[in-house]
Structure 1
């Protein structure tokens, strides 16, 4: 047995060496024929993952049949087993948490950080990526082709891990492309690598806004991309290789218009893999209507506060739903929405019900901190005893200058109704801010909303047209209307910004998190104010 393992190790080492030394590597713009070493390494990795999938599926099924026991075991592991009570003795029964919060003993909830994909570390289960690859291969059979996925993602000073990090041969874009100093430059480089690959099967992005911006680069500067592809590392004196010529010819598809251009550039494309939280719904809609027309969108994971919480096993469903895996993170829930007034206690994962909305409370391994994530979930159904949830809204993105509470997703619907009343106008992007963020510069008027929009099809709006948004808000939110009639809330102030202003705003934010629809930083508010044109 020892000799067999040693022989297998030698074979693996040789295969890895062949892959690392493959011709036409990531830095070359020449022939894209798959080297035999990469193909063999990819095949072997798929066989190993195939073995792992069966075990992970069985483990998930077993854990989901006794959620309370799975959560108790997880909590004991987080506590390090100190004073270890055995599972089933109530170790997982947490003390009720009021709105001010409790830690494991006393204290406050910690702040949370959003991560679209999560790194392969001790605190992040490998079960998620393995299940994702299994789902992808079953629903989109060709999606696991070697170098068949182009990835678009950036984080300041580092490279965010891919959704399928256990299978690096899946990607045509090198990891280093995500470490360049600026977000715009990273997306440009990643787009160049994607355009080299005619046989792409999938487009992957940490957030749908990253794919939106990458394809925006294609829309704005495809001629420059064609020139860069032509030169690459080739001397200008050399004749253009036939493979490069074909890739330049495919860019001519851009001159034919943008509807469905992704499938025209990459005819074998099957799926778009990207996180699409509530604040990024606008970008997903725009991509589905134009560049990614006809392609299914699939968000594989639900993760927040540095923890992977759930996996989407149903890519065929139009609305993303996630199975909360009971041995990935210790979750509690505060009832939210109507009928949740007062200081409620937390509900454990095993006790949630289908239908109501809950605010998520998470216990993270680092520092054993208990964290109110600030996201509201709704339980749609159950898989065995495990809840299957959908993301409803982010509490931090609620507009409220007098306690009226206008959530981001409902504000977006009101804004869309107002835009529909402006002839020829199409909404490209928007953000809001509460007038208190302006300080003394907001004047002596009543508190109000500052709204910044980028429109296509119109250059200016009359005051009557701008007031349509305030009217829509009054019709959609009775509490807001009451405050408006009393004069304790002033009318919305609507500003038009220059084209591309929001792409620059996302670059300036420097965070890999989803688009903030309600600005909380003066720095970002002043940034967008400087781009107002009307």
Structure 2
């Protein structure tokens, strides 16, 4: 019997206490087999898959008693000696205004003997989330966890050894050093080259949809040079790629004229469905989030470059805390099961009546089809934080709500208290762009005129919108006014303020190709794309790219 089949058969026959012993044995064997990557990979994969099945069964059990799961999680978050119970907790701690550091994220745990062993009894959210992801991925795409079968696209300048979505290093064909380059554009191009070198990819993984979007833009603009590098097995010098790092990475490349010719032929055919054509064995594209501003890229990828491939977002993460997991990798609309033992969650119904605003409901008290604002307790001493997230209940997995993210409250536009939500503004913008013949919206960002300071002039407070379009090089005055008209039609409060003159006319600016990639580089760290800009230094970056 083959080693993989033997290990799988052995693991399928055990559970409970024996699981810990077998996992320990498999991981220990891998430690002493550094010179046998295929066998080491199969054994580690078998151990992780067995542990992932254990965690899936644990989730199913937790899903039958949501209330007690929430109480257990709350007890672990409270200091010793504090009276337990959600009712006493809510009476003692009033809701705070917002969560701290909304973009930080818990790192994925490294694959270690102790971490895997600990998961056999109790796993913290990050580790349990990874194992549930592996279970869903492997069950839906059995060949997804192939040795060197996953390419990772993502910029991690401060964490050179951060793994991808799976703590199994042999899964990735991408050198970890490539993610840690000082410039985002250099990191993504190098990772793209290594991905192109591996024709037999099964999974393409991007930490953020905007990173995959920019990688494919780099492919569109620079495929001829990439093909040259592939043919010669070289790595062209570029800004942000130190010479000593370039030498180490180039040593991992192998000249491949056949693959270079294939790249040229496919790119000359066009870029619709290019991902599946370049990697014919690819099964799934995995992305880290679809919340808020990332949805624009997610939808664009589904329609064009990734056409015909499932896009799978495995987790729901808010304010850096892991809250839910997506158990349905092939579904076109990401939905997440809120796991009862990952964070203590409360919810305010939307829209809330004035007297109901401080009366939260708990995880087991939600109604299907309703929208709720999330109140989060995910870390010790950070109690009842308003997460700035609105979600909708799409259904239930046993007792656990299945939710879809709707909007981020921090990304609403407001210069007079009118509050235009980001997803509704995007719909109005897309409607306006649809009235411009030949135009296709690629990206956008909004600025409230208060950020402009003295540069806003003497006009009334207003919005300034920066858009990147394809198929249109200039905007007439009539076209510029279309967006303001659409907003007035879609938002009566905005129309009222415009009629009174207390909000001035919207100003629309067209930026050049690649402007938003430069903006994301200037942000200095990989974060979900904001749709309302609130930093003056970033405003200067996008203003410098205006062409009309």
- The question of whether the paired residues in 1 share the 8 Å contact of 2:27 and 2:43 is answered with no
> Could you tell me which residue of structure 2 aligns to residue 148 of structure 1?
149
Deviation at 1:164, TM superposition (A): 3.4
Alignment partner of 1:475 is 2:489? yes
SS of 2:395's equivalent in the other structure is strand
Distance 1:143 1:522, change over 3 A: same
Q: CA–CA distance in 1 between the matches of 2:481 and 2:416? A: 20
Decide which of 229, 254, 257 is 2:270's aligned counterpart.
Answer: 257
CA RMSD, Structure 1 to Structure 2 (Å): 2.6
- Specify the alignment match of 2:12 in structure 1: none
TM-score after normalising by structure 1: 0.87
Contact 2:205 2:285 in 1 (8 A): yes
SS at match of 1:381: strand
- What's the counterpart of residue 34 of structure 1? none
- Report matched runs for 1:437-516 at 5 Å: 437-516=451-530
Matches within 5 A, 1:57-456: 57-83=56-82, 85=84, 90-91=85-86, 93-95=88-90, 102=94, 109-115=98-104, 118-120=107-109, 124-159=125-160, 161-162=162-163, 164-232=165-233, 244-252=256-264, 253-274=266-287, 275-337=289-351, 339=353, 343-365=357-379, 367-456=381-470
Q: CA shift at 1:448, angstroms?
A: 0.8
Q: Distance in 2 between matches of 1:111 and 1:393?
A: 18
Query: How far is the alpha carbon of 1:359 from its aligned partner?
Result: 1.4
- Structure 1 residue 5 displacement after superposition: 10
Displacement after TM superposition at 1:478 (Å): 1.1
Structure 2 residue runs of 5 or longer lacking an equivalent are 1-17, 111-122, 237-252
Distance 1:478-1:242 versus aligned 2 partners, 3 A rule = closer
Q: Is this contact kept in 2: 1:71–1:92, CA < 8 A?
A: no
Decide whether aligned partners of structure 1 residues 113 and 265 sit closer, same or farther in structure 2, where only a CA change above 3 A counts: same
Cα distance, 1:108 vs structure 2:
5.4
How many pairs align? 499
| 8 Å CA contact retained: 2:232, 2:257 | no
What is the distance in 2 between the residues matched to 1:198 and 1:320? 28
1:12 CA displacement? 2.5
**Counterparts of 2:454 and 2:355 in 1: how far apart (Å)?**
34
Deviations 1:58-88 (A, max 9, x none): 2111211111111111111112432464xxx
The question of whether the paired residues in 2 share the 8 Å contact of 1:483 and 1:489 is answered with yes
Partner of 2:256: helix, strand, or coil? helix
Question: What is the deviation of 1:196?
Answer: 0.9
Are the counterparts in 2 of residues 117 and 161 from structure 1 also a CA contact under 8 Å?
Answer: no
Are 1:118 and 1:160, in contact at CA under 8 Å, matched by a contact in 2? no
SS at match of 1:382: strand
Q: Which runs of 5+ in 1 are unaligned?
A: 19-36, 236-240
1:48 maps to 47
Q: SS in structure 1 opposite 2:90?
A: coil
Q: Distance in 2 between matches of 1:344 and 1:91?
A: 15
Q: In 2 relative to 1, CA 255–341 (structure 1 residues): closer, same or farther, beyond 3 Å?
A: farther
CA distance in 2, matches of 1:163, 1:5: 22
TM-score normalised according to structure 2 size: 0.85
Distance (whole Å) between structure 2 residues aligned to residue 60 and residue 472 of structure 1: 46
Distance 1:70 1:93, change over 3 A: farther
* Pair 63,516 (structure 1): closer, same or farther in 2 beyond 3 Å: same
* SS of 1:94 mapped into structure 2: helix
- For residue 161 of structure 1, report the CA deviation from its aligned partner: 4.3
Change (3 A) 1:165 1:92: farther
CA shift at 1:474, angstroms?
A: 0.8
Q: Helix, strand or coil: the match of 2:75? A: helix
- Farther off after superposition, 340-349 or 407-416: 340-349
User: C-alpha separation between the residues in 2 aligned to 1:213 and 1:525?
Assistant: 20
Q: Secondary structure at the match of 2:32?
A: helix
How far the C-alpha of 1:509 sits from its partner, in A, is 1.0
Q: Does 1:12 align with 2:30?
A: yes
Residue number in structure 2 paired with 1:28: none
SS at match of 2:443: strand
Per the TM alignment, residue 364 of structure 1 is displaced from its structure 2 partner at its CA by: 2.8
Q: CA deviation at 1:268?
A: 0.6
CA deviation profile, 1:262-307 (whole Å, cap 9, x unmatched): 1111111111111222212221222223221211111000112222
